A and B are shown apart, each in its own frame.
Chain A
Amino acid sequence: MNFKHKYVFLFPGLFVLIGILIFPIIFTIRLSLSGWNSYTPEMNFIGITNYIRLFTDDPRFWESFFRLSFLSVTTVILQYIIGFALALIVWREIKFKRFFRVIFLIPMMTTPVIMTVIWRTFFHESLGPVNDLLGNLGVEPILWLSDPVIAKFTVIIVEVWQWTPFMFLLLLAGLLSLPKEPFLAAAIDGASPFRKFVYVTFPLMAPISIGAIIIRLIEASKIMDTVFVLTSGGPGTATETSSFYIYIKGLREFQMGYAATLSFTYLVIMIISLTIIAKVLTKLMIKE
């Protein structure tokens, strides 16, 4: 095809995106080398002081980062298993197939913060239905939001509720686009459903699975809305994720310079670790 036309197609989108992003990125890097805070709100230059502080004297950031890794990896694994199971079930003919498909999709269409507002009343420790129903069964009230360990699981429950549908959608769309021949062959060989899954369905779905997991990991690493409304990072710092910590430093304590340092470091770590995860997953799931 003609050579120059390709730029006419590509450049508007590319340059709009770069145009919007170039300032924030350069600004963040420059800001990270400054001591901008509420006392000296100006772009002075203090070298890598902020970075030294981050790497030697800020365990809270690293804790929030490991917490984030734990939360996002756990939720994505759960979403993948549940989403895949649901997709497999409604892939074949079952009763009320279309009803179930719609129901399974609904949570991803709802606004996370708004649903979290509902979840907060749902898990309310004295006035919420969960503890009340459990209480009827004789279970002691569970401190869904004020126990540091349980609060993490509450966040996971809400995240799984919210985003399993996305995984389900990607996997079901993948299942529906698979070729029919391998399944016919397996049926002729008389393979059991389990063997059919292990030797036919799963390998065929591997590339789609990897794509879905990576996309969900990217989105899950941004967990913020849920935490913000459900627990505000608490109790203490028990559910504080990296984004939330950056938010506190930057827009509550107005240590803009330091927050920029955190942002930039976080971005670099994320890009590197997601690239590694993508490579490892590809190796693990696609054999030969």
Chain B
Amino acid sequence: MEKLYKFLKYTFIILWTVFIVAPFLWAISTSFKDFQSVNSKVTYIPWLDFEPTLEGWRVLVKSPARGGVDIVEPYFNSLFVTCTASLISIVLGTLAAYALSRFTFKAGFVRNNDITFFFISQRIMPPIVLSIPFFIFLSTIGLLDSLIGLVVVYIVLLMPIAVWIMVDFFNRVPKELDETALIDGCNPYQAFYKVVLPNSIPGLIVAGMFCIIFGWIDFFFAFILTFTEVQLLPVKVVALNSSITPWWSLSASALISVAPLIIVAFIVERYLSKGNLSGALK
């Protein structure tokens, strides 16, 4: 019985690991193929099944004028939009979360929980619902196809995440901490800044990581609200998909686009193992 359980357990996680890794292995293999090895029959292992070439990767460094794909600019655009929007969302979201966790608000029938729900419920809105009005709004004020326009939209996307994680986190930070600081003669801002904030770093890191993930992986807003001036990474890669299918450069650019955030998986795991994350995520 014990042995059977152990066998099933390992079979399950090994199968799941294969399932997770499969598309990556396929993409890595495909990125070294040429026209022949993609289109004649299905090939898997370089040298054994097909002769690997670096064509797919070379396209990424060539200049667009000579048939290359410019991926550097979209990379930095994505990075800029994600980081700016995350930073603003974290600052505003953390302040709001602290208020919601420590003070009581009453306005008519509205209580703390309702305000928290209002923040979080913004995630219910599908991108398409916001994109149509934003499309018209940004085009009237001339911010369509610009980085600033996107940052504004991404704040709506990310602030709910920051509030959600930080409210939970602050609820676990003992109230005595701020009270002691107040008795020691701090004003509420100093208490927050000097005492509560330094004790909330794990929460802030988790919130920051989530904001960066959800900002980096967004496609739809960038797709609707930008055209030629500004291109974000996902839009660029998907645009490659619609032209005739050069699977090799498609795979290479896909791999290089998802690579940076995989580091985040290692960071998250570190925090999980150290036990810091369990407090930050309920």
Interface residues of B, CB < 8 Å — how many?
Answer: 96
Contact B119–A17 (Cβ < 8 Å): yes
CB of A232, distance to nearest CB on chain B (Å): 10
Interface residue? A270 (CB, 8 A) = yes
CA of A218 to CA of B119, assembled, Å: 14
Please name the residue on chain A nearest to B136 by beta carbon.
Answer: A27
Contact B237–A117 (Cβ < 8 Å): yes
CA of A25 to CA of B227, assembled, Å: 24
Interface residue? B130 (CB, 8 A) = yes
* A229 / chain B contacts, CB cutoff of 8 Å: 238, 241
Contact B38–A176 (Cβ < 8 Å): no
* A108 / chain B contacts, CB cutoff of 8 Å: 213
* B83 / chain A contacts, CB cutoff of 8 Å: none
* A222 / chain B contacts, CB cutoff of 8 Å: 126-127
The segment from A144-152, A181-189, A243-251, A279-287 found at the interface with B is A243-251
Interface residue? A256 (CB, 8 A) = yes
* B188 / chain A contacts, CB cutoff of 8 Å: 1-2, 5
Interface residues of A, CB < 8 Å — how many?
Answer: 92
Please name the residue on chain B nearest to A105 by beta carbon.
Answer: B265
**Interface hub of B13, B216, B261 (most chain A Cβ within 10 A):** B13
CA of A285 to CA of B95, assembled, Å: 33
Interface residue? A120 (CB, 8 A) = yes
CA of A127 to CA of B95, assembled, Å: 52
Which A residues contact B (CB, under 8 angstroms)?
Answer: 1-2, 5-10, 12-14, 16-17, 20-21, 23-25, 27-28, 31, 82, 85-86, 89-90, 94, 98, 100-115, 117-122, 127-129, 132, 161, 169-170, 172-174, 176-177, 193, 207-208, 211, 215, 218-219, 221-222, 224-225, 228-229, 242-244, 246-247, 250-251, 256, 259-260, 263-264, 266-267, 270-271, 274
A–B pairs, 17, beta carbons within 8 Å? A9-B95, A9-B103, A10-B95, A10-B100, A13-B92, A13-B93, A14-B119, A16-B155, A24-B129, A101-B272, A109-B258, A110-B262, A112-B219, A115-B254, A121-B247, A224-B220, A244-B128
Which B residues contact A (CB, under 8 angstroms)?
Answer: 5, 9, 12-13, 16-17, 19-23, 26-27, 30, 38-39, 41-42, 44, 88, 92-93, 95-96, 98-100, 102-103, 105, 115, 119, 121-137, 152-153, 155-156, 159, 163, 178, 182, 187-189, 192, 213, 216-217, 219-220, 224, 233-234, 237-238, 240-241, 245, 247, 250-251, 254, 257-258, 261-262, 264-266, 268-269, 272-273, 275, 277-282
List 15 other contacts, CB 8 Å, given A119-B23, A266-B126: A10-B99, A20-B153, A82-B16, A86-B16, A89-B13, A90-B13, A105-B268, A106-B20, A110-B217, A128-B42, A173-B277, A177-B279, A208-B282, A256-B132, A260-B133
